[in-house]
Amino acid sequence: MQPNFFSYGHTGFELVTALIKILFMVLGFLMPLASILTWLERRQSAMMQDRLGPKRAFIKLPIIGKFYLFGILHFVADALKFMGKEDYVPGKAHKFLFMWAPIMAMAPALIVAAIIPFGPDLCWGHMTEVVANGFCPRETGVAGPVPLQIARLDIGLLFYFAISSLSVYGATLAGWASHNKWAMMGGLRASSQMMSYEVTMGMAVLGSFLVYGQLEPGAIVAKQTEVFSLANFGSSWGIFLQPLGFILFLTAAIAETKRTPFDIPEGEPEIIGYFVEYSGLRFGLFFLGEFLEIVTSSAIMVSLFFGGWHLPSGIEGWLAAHLPNVAFVLVMFALWTMKVFAFCSFQLLIRWSLPRFRSDQLMRLGWQRLLPISIANVVVTALIILWAQRS
Amino acid sequence: MAVGVKVVNRPGGLAQQAYLPAIAEGLGVTFRHFVKNFFGNVTGMRHKTDIATLEYPEEKMKYPERHRGLHRLMLREDGQVRCVACMMCPTVCPAHCITIVAEEAPDGRIEKRPKIFEIDELRCVVCGLCAEACPCDAIRMDTLEHAHPTYRRVDAILDKEELMSRGIQSSAVQGGVGAFWREKVASAPQTPPSGDVSPRGPAPGPTAVTDLSRK
């Protein structure tokens, strides 16, 4: 019997939903949020520094008139400006690598989003009904639960490291291909910095791995059902299980995004950075890629340490028991979006509050401070788990 | 280690070396500013925020009272120009921006009046010497406006009518109060000066003959 397209486990259905999820994540979530962050960074920093920031861009609608929206439309104006600019390639630049470096810098941030869980399972066959405890029955003939996660990879976080470390190629190749010593310097600094902090990042995540016994972000999120409970400590949010791991991961993640206080690859007052020769839309790609990295690293942090899309279990259980499945999923997605947005905003806050490290200070912090602390965190976590299992 | 390097032991304990308390404090400062400005801005209470930005074309800074701005010619009680064409101001003007052509006034009480009174605001260096030199409070620079932008140079030359259009009636007595004013001061009843009083109190000397307070 030919299985129905909308039946559980049909490959075509899985592929089509995966494609829809990819389109939704990229066009409906990552790109808009990253674009808004380019505006938010300016507006929020202005508010922090007692200024007003960009608020004057508007669109003229036929009946309503001028539509300001607090100036969010500045990012549209910026994008249009980038498109109108000359695409200049320096004469001695390596044309091919110069062309591809911005894409190599941006693409990893998009690919990494594949493993981020952004909502509870969508119950295809029972979307308008209340699904008790979020448990979706797997019936034959009815398409099963659609996990709101593009790829449920068992290697999960390893995939994240593998792909996000690729983005160093974008920076380094851009610096090398520009045939400009300042760009070269920026590229070298970017590579040394990102390599150094990846070690700490991996070690920080190792603690979470020991606690949850999983590398798959969806499964890790599924375990963090409570915000904080002493009785069921294992299902608290990751921030309570791995507080030190969170600080280490946050530090390393900011270093990975190459933003202040770790922005020596850019270092506006000294070297402009690896993208000094870029203009127009190619520079726009670097710019957007930086903000995409903020979004994805925030999403990973939310998944690992702040319970992903989970609410405190009482409220979540009540919602699941009273709302139809599709509404429940939407509410949880909105909640997750708010969490990610808050984290992005927090990263902007850090970026506009702290001064930049010197290059040697950065290396000393990475190798002599953060790395030993993260190893100690792993060891202590392992010992505590061993003790908990024995007793 | 290189020669002459002095190793400095930094003070501070673990809390200071870990940066984190100081970072948290700094984030607190910026976040407080953000929250205050953000909510003040959202709720439309700009005056309660710390925001220093002035949105220039819509909002303008209030100039101080002694700001030297565009000139104006003051008026007599009957609305005529107060100027008697004494040529003090074009004489003292370092930029030679004032042009006065005098004529005989039809009014018998007045000898001269300006037929043409033009000020080239592009030439003016805004020194204020003309207003200082004027013996009869006819030219002032207290309009609190600065020279308007124009498309043609000729439009920046203000003529008598334009200068008078900003003028008001001066409270000073035209032609002065005459000789023996010191004796009149001594005999006049001492009324406290009306209008804005300078913080140092009334100046010593002849004040009470006429109300010398401006505007």
Task: Quick: pLDDT tens for B178-189.
Answer: 777 777 777 766
CA dist A264 and A188 (Å) reads 10
**ipTM of the predicted structure?**
0.85
Domain residue limits, chain A: 85-390
pLDDT in the model for residue A140: 65
**CA geometry: angle at B56 spanning B53 and B59, to 5°?**
85
Task: Quick: pLDDT tens for A190-226.
Answer: 999 988 998 999 899 899 889 888 889 988 888 887 7
**A349 in contact with B, Cβ within 8 Å:** yes
**Closest CA relative to residue A257, chosen from A171, A182, A173, A338:** A171
CA dist A291 and A262 (Å) reads 15
- A 9-68: CB under 8 A from B: 44, 46-52
End-to-end CA distance of chain A: 54
pLDDT in the model for residue B25: 92
pLDDT higher at A313 or A274: A274
pLDDT in the model for residue B105: 87
Average per-residue pLDDT for chain A:
87
Domain residue limits, chain B: 15-48, 72-172
Q: Does B37 contact A350 at a Cβ distance shorter than 8 Å?
A: no
pLDDT interval class at A3 (50, 70, 90): low
pLDDT higher at B70 or A139: B70
Q: Does A48 contact B41 at a Cβ distance shorter than 8 Å?
A: no
Mean pLDDT across B187-208 = 49
pLDDT in the model for residue A153: 87
H/E stretch holding A208 reads helix A181-212
**Chain B CB contacts of A52 below 8 Å:** 41, 51, 53, 55
Mean pLDDT across B130-136 = 92
pTM score of the predicted model: 0.81
Task: Quick: pLDDT tens for B85-115.
Answer: 999 999 999 999 999 999 998 877 788 899 9
Q: What is the 3-state secondary structure of B86-131?
A: CCHHHHHCCCCCEEEEEEECCCCCCCEEEEEEEEECCCCCCCCHHH
pLDDT interval class at A134 (50, 70, 90): low
Residue A371 has phi, psi (to 5 degrees) of -65, -50
For residue B207, give the amino acid letter.
Answer: T
Q: Which of A136-150, A319-333, B146-160 has the highest mean pLDDT?
A: B146-160
Best B25, B30, B31, B32 member to test A by mutation, with max A CBs in 10 Å, is B30
pLDDT in the model for residue B188: 63
Residue A190 has phi, psi (to 5 degrees) of -60, -45
**A76 in contact with B, Cβ within 8 Å:** no
Fold of B72-172: Alpha-Beta Plaits (3.30.70)
Q: Over 50: is that where the pLDDT of B125 sits?
A: yes
Chain A: give the shortest CA distance to residue B12, in Å: 16
Q: Which of A20-24, A138-142, B49-53, B201-205 has the lowest mean pLDDT?
A: B201-205
**B53 in contact with A, Cβ within 8 Å:** yes
DSSP characters over A67-122: E-GGGTTHHHHHHHHHHHS-----TTS-HHHHHHHHHHHHHHHHHHGGG---EEEE
Mean pLDDT across B145-152 = 89
pLDDT higher at B182 or B124: B124
Q: Which of A50, A52, A247 sits opposite B33 (nearest CB)?
A: A50
Mean pLDDT across A146-158 = 87
Q: Which of A58-67, A77-86, B202-211 has the highest mean pLDDT?
A: A77-86
What six digits make up the tokens of B117?
A: 């009174």
Q: Over 60: is that where the pLDDT of B196 sits?
A: no
Mean pLDDT across B12-17 = 78
